[in-house]
Amino acid sequence: MKAAYLLPVILLPLLSCRGGRQADQAPRDDVSVLDATASVIPASLDQAMQAIEDASVRLRRGDCITVVPIVGQSFATPSDEILHRCIPSERQPYDHDLDDFHVELHNALASERRQIALHRAAKTDILGTLNLVAQEFSLDGPQVRKTLVIFSDFIEEDDSRNFITSPDLATPEAAERLARDLAGGRQHSCNWSGVRIFLGNLQSTELPNLPEPRRQAIQRFWSAYFTACKSQPFFAADGPGMSARFILQAQ
């Protein structure tokens, strides 16, 4: 649900315009990683896309939003499927540029959804996709507030590991060991210090069929991985439903 805010009169001078921010408030870079693979139920994917668009109304001038699809091989992610938009910092007459921004973003998200529907990958390279996100954040200045929202069933199935069958994901304890080993290696970017991270579960055709210890192990892996990478992730069973509250707290 979109929240409405009543600003006290004493705060109005601190806002440059509609869509403005408080004078001492740093710009935001919000990155959403969206599982575009075949195991995610389409209706849940639609809910995640809507949650991303709903969250965009809270962006202010100078803020950026990026949407990166999770595909089978992250290095094969087409650049035109990575959506990146920023709101101009300078105010335009009558704020028409803000309206144009949201219309353009709406159309871009709709196009992204159509592309995802046409190309549902069988594998899921979440770790590789996180390397792309790390590159995005590396371009931000030190003052930028960074938020990462991941919508997925979190079943990694890349060319080197499969969370459905791997012995390393048989128990939560084994999963945590694997997470720490990967976090300490060089293959994956692993410094998420200063990034607020939301892990939002999507409905899946595969996850409910896994044994309970393995489902717990998958969640433990991602929590342990990001913790070892200097962040404290928030995991939500209802990803689309809880993401709005998380992003609101990041304001």
For residue range 90-115, what is the model confidence (pLDDT) as tens digits?
Answer: 777 767 788 889 999 999 999 988 88
pTM equals 0.85
- Tally: H helices and E strands in the chain: 6, 6
With a cut of 50, say whether residue 128 has pLDDT above it.
yes
Q: Which CATH class is domain 26-249?
A: alpha beta
Between residues 99 and 217, the one the model is more confident about: 217
- Given pLDDT bands bounded at 50, 70 and 90, which one contains residue 76? low
Encoding tokens for residue 7?
A: 């600003």
As a whole number of angstroms, the distance between CA 161 and CA 108 comes to 33
pLDDT value for 122: 83
With a cut of 70, say whether residue 148 has pLDDT above it.
yes
Encoding tokens for residue 31?
A: 């990155």
As a whole number of angstroms, the distance between CA 121 and CA 17 comes to 43
40: which strand partners? 204
Helix crossing, 172-183 with 212-228: angle to 10°?
30
As a whole number of angstroms, the distance between CA 201 and CA 153 comes to 5
- Tens-place pLDDT, residues 41-74: 999 999 999 999 999 988 999 999 999 998 876 6
**Domain ranges (residues) in the chain:** 26-249
**Backbone angles phi and psi of 232, in degrees to 5:** -120, 95
